[in-house]
Amino acid sequence: MRHLLEINDLARDEVSEVLRRAADPALSKPLQGRGVALVFEKPSARTRNSMEMAVHQLGGHGVYIQGHEVGFDVRETVEDVTRTLACYYDLLAARVFRHDVVERMSALNTRPVVNLLSDRAHPMQALADLLTLRAEFGELAGRTIAYIGDANNVTRSLALAAHAMGMRVRVGHPAGYGFDAVDMAVLDQAGVDVEFVDDPVAAAAGADAVYADVWTSMGQEEESAKRLVDFAGWTIDTALMARASDDAVFLHCLPAHEGEECTREVLEAPNSRVWLQAENRMHAARGLLHWLVTDAK
């Protein structure tokens, strides 16, 4: 049984197949009469709605479940919740605070488990990012993606995904906001040779895509004031984007905190692809779910 806890749970050719299905306007509806559990311990605009619509487009029924309703390890164990949901649903998807929750869910091998964002990874976002980059550039090998900001869950999945497509990965962050040892071990294991820089201008220089995410992720709210101070000078604005390559695009997983990690001007600029990225969440989800329930081995 296959699960998607991190983007490198898929081989490179499997990622390509998922992206092919994402762009296929005539996919079959393998979820007819079947359900998908969508458990969220954190809020969501894109992930919940793109998943619900993708499930619907594949003929299935997605059920949104708030984390507190099932209460992982509070009301009952992660394992007991998982075994119960597996009685009703063909796929289990969850957005969780701790990555080990989706690991424990998948370890039971009751149903395929899809990580809808954990503190470590956001693979569904990475699939949409690749779809967006492919539409823009076609072949991605040799292109440079520059992530500027807090090295977080989105950054890790993006780095793994971009590397799998042969891209060069650059991460610019202020001191103290790089990957921790756990993430570095995952990246090293996957052979991702991240170029780290400690200056936003050097990070953007000549990049084909500049990528932003919030400085304070969900679950880190108590660090927000400190982060605002530590990230001063790291806002991606029009002047910084001008350091990137002439045909560079701006990407952001959203939600954006305007005036913090990027300006409104950058979000709305002609070279911004953030709304296409948001739309691609649904197409990528449809491609992934279709592959998972039909051909994943």
Residues that bind ligand CP (CB under 6 A): 44-47, 117, 125, 253-255
- The Cα 240–Cα 205 span in angstroms is 9
One residue of 107, 184, 205, 218 binding ligand NVA per CB under 6 A: 218
Residue 142 contact, options ligand NVA, ligand CP, none, Cβ 5-8 Å cut-off depending on partner type:
none
Q: Tell the smallest beta-carbon distance from residue 55 to ligand CP (Å).
A: 15
Q: Tell the smallest beta-carbon distance from residue 274 to ligand NVA (Å).
A: 12
Nearer to ligand CP, 50 or 106 (CB): 50
Nearer to ligand CP, 86 or 92 (CB): 92
Q: Tell the smallest beta-carbon distance from residue 276 to ligand NVA (Å).
A: 16
Yes or no: say if 21 and 255 are a contact pair by the CB < 8 Å rule.
Answer: no
| H or E segment and range at residue 289 | helix 274-294
Q: Tell the smallest beta-carbon distance from residue 114 to ligand CP (Å).
A: 13
Nearer to ligand CP, 144 or 157 (CB): 157
Return the beta strands (E) in 139-285 as ranges: 144-148, 168-172, 195-197, 209-212, 249-252
Q: Where are the alpha helices (DSSP H) in 168-213?
A: 181-189, 200-204
Residue 253 found at the interface with ligand NVA (CB under 6 A): yes
Q: What is the DSSP string of 66-86?
A: EHHHH-BTTTB-HHHHHHHHH
Residue 152 found at the interface with ligand NVA (CB under 6 A): yes
Helix (H, G, I), strand (E, B) or coil at 181: helix
- Name the token pair of 90: 């063909």
Handedness of CA 67, 70, 74, 79 (dihedral sign): negative
Residue 45 contact, options ligand CP, ligand NVA, none, Cβ 5-8 Å cut-off depending on partner type:
ligand CP
Yes or no: say if 168 and 143 are a contact pair by the CB < 8 Å rule.
Answer: yes
Residue 213 contact, options ligand NVA, ligand CP, none, Cβ 5-8 Å cut-off depending on partner type:
ligand NVA
Binding site for ligand NVA (CB under 6 A): 117, 152-154, 213-214, 217-218, 253
